[in-house]
Structure 1
Amino acid sequence: MGTAEAGVETPRTRRRRGRTTLMIAGAAVLGVVAGACAGFLVQADREPTALPPLSQPVLGQGKGEVEPLSAAQDRRVKTDGDLRKLLITRPKGAKDNAFAVDSDGWADLATYAARYKRPGNTFDNLVDNEFRRAAMTSWQVGEAYNVEVTLVQFRQESKAAASEWAENGVYWAEEEDDTRSWPIPGTGDGNGTAYVHDSPEEEAGYLPMYSAEAYAWRGDICLEIRVYDIKPISKAKIMDLAQRQVGKL
């Protein structure tokens, strides 16, 4: 018999199944049936086992009325009120800057969206995210140090939009080159981050502009802080603003 070529498997002759195989298989089936019948007969001769009761002990209900949370303890009372009161106050001697929305501190949907590079896209995204309202404060110290703080509140009837909006800010902040970041104390794991951009934005006819920013969320509110200066911005400055604002929420 010749040797098979390399890489080609030699075919094997198929073995026929004889009566012995069928008899063994049949015996196995009968064995299973007989075993099941024997088990049924043994079980039928036994006394029925009592099942545990389905009812559980009745727990006593406390008497009296539960005292409602105070306004200081109930966060919804705080956040459903005047959102502007939750903004940090600007320092003494600070003046208005170009970021101010108006004298009352509120920014409607169109006004807030207009502060982004693509207002139309931002407007649509805010509608999709169930934008409710935004409160803003801003100030300038000296000739070039500018701060802008915004609290954006969402209805959150269909999704956790506040966290998504904060994550959107985090995404773009981390896209910048030469950027350092730190978690904001008091925000929980991954719920708040501060950034310092060490390379300034440069444009012909203007002084180089450095920036820092922070994003956090709590409940249905997203916090945004942006700082600009012609000098490098320290970690201490952005972290101080972020921690104080988080503390107000």
Structure 2
Amino acid sequence: MPEVAEETGESARAGGRSPRRRGRTTALIAGAAVLGVVAGGCTGYLIQADREPTKLSSLSQSTLVQARGPAPEPLSAAEDRRVKTDGDLRKLLLKKPGGAKAAVWAGIDGWMTLADMAESYEKPAGAFSDLVAGEFRRAADTGWRVGSTYGVEIRLVQYRQEEELQASDRADSENYYEDAESGTKSWPVAGSDNAMVYVHTKPDTKPGYLPQYSATAVAWRGDIVMKIFVWDAKPIPKAKIMDLAERQVKKL
């Protein structure tokens, strides 16, 4: 049996191919590649050393010549819109008409805090987080009542806009919400490229209460969103909400 085993082993070694030893060949190829890179680098350095140095362009620029004539005058407070929007935002709101009663729902001294704004939504907790993420800066609010059923509220909301143009995005969302209500008619506001008014012809009804009709207006300019609410126990004419929207847009 040992002889048979030995013959079998010899036959296997004779008929089979011995494994290829790759280690030494691979090392030789890698070494040749490294020597080639080094040789190429040395040759390039010697060629560059024999050349004349290339002149670099000057880092300085030619002196700018100021245009002739007097320097332009700075904008006046009436012309510089930032003076208005960074100042007292309440001054941009329409005044309460004579004979009307001041609203009791307005914020403290005409200002609405972040919490006040959140409370005006159906889901205050979610609205609070959304306003924080949306870079809410401040809001001014005013309103009045005439008789026992007619009321007006005007709100100006300002955003910081350090990351995104929040005012236009918020106005788009308000427009979508207002226009989505059934029985709604809408018109653009003259004197603005984005202001819209909405008259909702279907009233809100609750048992024991008078029906409540509503109309709204939405606009934005710069970092401010304007929203006007009007409600009454009878249908609201287009002319009424349009007049408020046009006068408020002009003050922005």
The structural deviation recorded for 1:166 is 1.0
The alignment partner of 1:71 has SS state of: coil
The alignment partner of 2:75 has SS state of: coil
Separation (CA, whole Å) in 2 of partners of 1:225 and 1:96: 16
Report Cα offsets for 1:97-135 as digits up to 9, x if no partner.
Answer: 343223x10001111111111111211111111110000
1:192 aligns with 2:219: no
1:224 aligns with 2:227: yes
The structural deviation recorded for 1:65 is 2.7
Q: Which runs of 4+ in 1 moved over 3 A?
A: none
Separation (CA, whole Å) in 1 of partners of 2:159 and 2:141: 15
The alignment partner of 1:217 has SS state of: strand
Instruction: In structure 2, give the amino acid aligned to 1:211.
Output: S
The alignment partner of 1:85 has SS state of: helix
Separation (CA, whole Å) in 2 of partners of 1:87 and 1:76: 16
The structural deviation recorded for 1:66 is 2.4
1:136 aligns with 2:136: no
Separation (CA, whole Å) in 1 of partners of 2:199 and 2:105: 20
Separation (CA, whole Å) in 2 of partners of 1:182 and 1:155: 29
Instruction: In structure 2, give the amino acid aligned to 1:214.
Output: A
**Contact 2:96/2:102 (8 A) holds in 1:** no
Among 164, 170, 180, which residue is 1:165 paired with?
Answer: 170
Percent identity of paired positions between Structure 1 and Structure 2: 54
TM-score (norm 2): 0.72
Among 206, 211, 221, which residue is 2:209 paired with?
Answer: 206
TM-score (norm 1): 0.73
Separation (CA, whole Å) in 2 of partners of 1:121 and 1:185: 35
The alignment partner of 2:129 has SS state of: helix
Higher helix share: 2
Separation (CA, whole Å) in 2 of partners of 1:100 and 1:63: 52
Which residue is 2:184 aligned to?
179
The alignment partner of 1:81 has SS state of: coil
**Contact 2:121/2:127 (8 A) holds in 1:** yes
Separation (CA, whole Å) in 2 of partners of 1:220 and 1:97: 26
Separation (CA, whole Å) in 2 of partners of 1:153 and 1:175: 25
Q: CA 1:63–1:130 in 2, change beyond 3 Å: closer, same or farther? A: same
Structure number with greater Rg is: 2
Instruction: In structure 1, give the amino acid aligned to 2:88.
Output: D
Which residue is 1:89 aligned to?
95
The structural deviation recorded for 1:62 is 3.1
The structural deviation recorded for 1:61 is 2.3
Separation (CA, whole Å) in 2 of partners of 1:202 and 1:134: 30
Which residue is 1:79 aligned to?
85
Which residue is 1:246 aligned to?
249
**Contact 2:106/2:112 (8 A) holds in 1:** no
The number of residues matched between the two structures is 191
